[in-house]
Structure 1
Amino acid sequence: MAAYQLFVESLQVRFLHIQRYSLDAHWRIRDRILNHSVVWYVDKGSLRLTLNGSPYTCGEGELCLLPDQSVLNGSPLTGEVRLISLNFDAEILFLNRRGWAQAFQLPVIYKSAAADFNLLLNEMLHQSASADPLSSLLLQSQMLRMLHLLLQPGAYENTELPARGWDSRVHTVIHHLLSRPHLTPKVSELAEWVQLSESHLRKLFIRETGQAPLQFMHRLKVEQAKKLLLQSSKPIAEIAGEVGITDPNYFSRLFKLETGIAPQSYRKQYAETVFI
């Protein structure tokens, strides 16, 4: 639960665009690399999709989640397809814009909770057409509601997980690190946990997260430290120890390297409370 919670707390989401489309039998999309994450909700008809080489069918009343950087191919299976398309950016801060959907092990096709998805997407369509200058705030809040729905386990019961998720050994290492924040293992020890050589583990980490294991571990510890800085008044040295770094000076240098400010300045800037 602690590991999952840190993923959620480090997730940043930004609404971009929503629109309804009507596609005829000649519509095709070929080898499109997605620059943003996309949700398609099919109102009518069905689609044949290939995402990163794996085939899927998205039918009427179903939702497709297409993460950014995926390679997409698609064509209609019916004479007409009507869908709602929602574009957004999402990232888990310490994952370096890689694999937020894979980190949560989300499916590509959602077959459940159709009514909830449909209602929310239609609310967003209506709001996007509003002339209200504050509509962007409402759309951002609705985008967060959409992520809440996508992350609910009940939304994808009886649904296959994507064929190409993170390598299970990378998942294992990450969850070891998340569940043992007080430790700072060597890369050789991480490799031993999953019975790999250091070089092989490094290649897997770079492929899946865009970072080498040591860089990933440093960013993860800074994210864990941010939470402790904001939720407690513990001394910096104590917080450093809780995230597995015994030298407070080294911790402060690492924190400033990742965030641009010192730990004490971060606490003062983001955790300061005004009492009335």
Structure 2
Amino acid sequence: MSENHIRQALRLHFLYAETYSFPKEWSFQESMTPYSMIRYIVKGAAQFVIDETIYHLEENDIIYIPQGSTLCCDALTDEFSFMSIRFTASLPIPGSEGRPEMLGMDSKVKCTDPQIKQYFQSIINEKNANNRGKQYTLRGYLELIVGYIISASDASLAKPDKPKNMKLDNKNDNRVEIVLAHMLNHYKENITIEEMSRMVNLSSASLRRLFKRHTGKSPSDFLIELKMVVAAKRILETDERISDIAYEVGIKDPNYFSRIFKKYYRVTPVSYRQLARE
């Protein structure tokens, strides 16, 4: 099957999008990404390490992080912000497993079209819309962005970075994707493994195994990490009390919230806010 036929058959499944801002001290410890991500650097600079390859990112750079990659990040400027889109990709074609090498994209491209930045912003604005056509709109913007990255990769004459293949979920099993989407849209709730299992008609043990195989994390660990990411954004961008932010992400005990937050960010929530504003 030709590259064009495979690209035509590719299905992108939008999960979540948001804008994130961090201080210079921000550091994201190495972790495996359970979905693909595309990030647009809005302000500042940072160093990303994807599968042991180092990328220096500045304003208007776009970075593609394939599903299943290991990722760690460090901010290099006093303020660093980016727009991030999370998604999965699949090919609904029998025998297409093992063919993602035909969909290679450069990991990093410089965005020279201001409309692409607007597509990122439109996705973030649209994700909370309450209309029946929302998923089609979100997927449309996502496909425009992916199309731009592929075109920019094809047009690049000098390629210092090894192109990254778009890793696909070709197991024809969207149960993990359903659970992920539910978590991303209901992170405020303390969803139990039993509830998630019923959503996809699996036993709790089977869902844990399937989720771990696809994401590298247990459902509970993934949900807690998601709560911490949302909470960190609120801590940086608002003056809300830490206890209120903890409650907003579904953690009623502020002391427990502080312990978990420090585990992920290496400082307390109060220190995290102070460091960002000094």
Q: Normalising by the residue count of structure 2, what TM-score does the alignment of the two structures yield?
A: 0.53
Instruction: Check the 8 A contact 1:107/1:156 in 2, yes or no.
Output: no
- Look up the equivalent residue of 1:51 and give its one-letter code: I
- Partner of residue 45, structure 2: 46
Distance in 2 separating the partners of 1:159 and 1:63: 16
Q: 1:155 Cα shift?
A: 7.2
User: Which 5+ residue runs of structure 2 have no aligned equivalent?
Assistant: 171-278
| 3-state DSSP of counterpart to 2:16 | strand
Instruction: Check the 8 A contact 1:112/1:155 in 2, yes or no.
Output: no
- Partner of residue 85, structure 2: 86
Instruction: Check the 8 A contact 2:67/2:168 in 1, yes or no.
Output: no
Distance in 1 separating the partners of 2:40 and 2:81: 9
- Partner of residue 103, structure 1: 102
Distance in 1 separating the partners of 2:46 and 2:19: 15
Q: 1:153 Cα shift?
A: 4.1
Q: 1:64 Cα shift?
A: 0.5
Q: 1:68 Cα shift?
A: 0.4
Q: 1:8 Cα shift?
A: 0.8
Distance in 2 separating the partners of 1:99 and 1:41: 27
Distance in 2 separating the partners of 1:159 and 1:117: 22
| 3-state DSSP of counterpart to 2:38 | strand
Change in Cα spacing, 1:91 to 1:162, as seen in structure 2 (3 Å) is farther
Residue 15 of structure 2 corresponds to residue 16 of structure 1: yes
- Partner of residue 120, structure 1: 119
Q: 1:92 Cα shift?
A: 3.5
| 3-state DSSP of counterpart to 2:2 | helix
- Partner of residue 147, structure 1: 146
- Partner of residue 58, structure 2: 59
Give a deviation string over 1:102-144, Cα, whole Å, max 9, x none: 4322111111434232011111122123233432221122222
- Look up the equivalent residue of 1:145 and give its one-letter code: L
Q: Which runs of 4+ in 1 moved over 6 A?
A: 208-211
How is 1:123-272 mapped onto 2 (pairs within 5 angstroms)?
A: 123-153=122-152, 157-158=156-157, 160=159, 162-163=161-162
User: Which 5+ residue runs of structure 1 have no aligned equivalent?
Assistant: 167-207, 212-276
Higher relative contact order (CA 8 A, sep 6+): 2
Instruction: Check the 8 A contact 2:35/2:87 in 1, yes or no.
Output: yes
Instruction: Check the 8 A contact 2:106/2:163 in 1, yes or no.
Output: no
Change in Cα spacing, 1:154 to 1:54, as seen in structure 2 (3 Å) is closer
- Partner of residue 3, structure 1: 2
Q: 1:150 Cα shift?
A: 2.1
Name the count of aligned residue pairs: 167
- Partner of residue 33, structure 2: 34
Distance in 2 separating the partners of 1:148 and 1:6: 15
Instruction: Check the 8 A contact 2:89/2:169 in 1, yes or no.
Output: no
Q: 1:72 Cα shift?
A: 0.7
Distance in 1 separating the partners of 2:62 and 2:49: 15
Change in Cα spacing, 1:118 to 1:165, as seen in structure 2 (3 Å) is closer
Change in Cα spacing, 1:142 to 1:70, as seen in structure 2 (3 Å) is same
The root-mean-square deviation of aligned C-alpha atoms, in Å, is 2.8
Instruction: Check the 8 A contact 1:61/1:114 in 2, yes or no.
Output: no
Q: 1:9 Cα shift?
A: 2.6
Change in Cα spacing, 1:154 to 1:160, as seen in structure 2 (3 Å) is closer
Q: 1:37 Cα shift?
A: 0.4
Change in Cα spacing, 1:158 to 1:122, as seen in structure 2 (3 Å) is farther
Instruction: Check the 8 A contact 1:12/1:91 in 2, yes or no.
Output: yes
- Look up the equivalent residue of 2:25 and give its one-letter code: H
- Look up the equivalent residue of 1:90 and give its one-letter code: A
Instruction: Check the 8 A contact 1:48/1:58 in 2, yes or no.
Output: yes
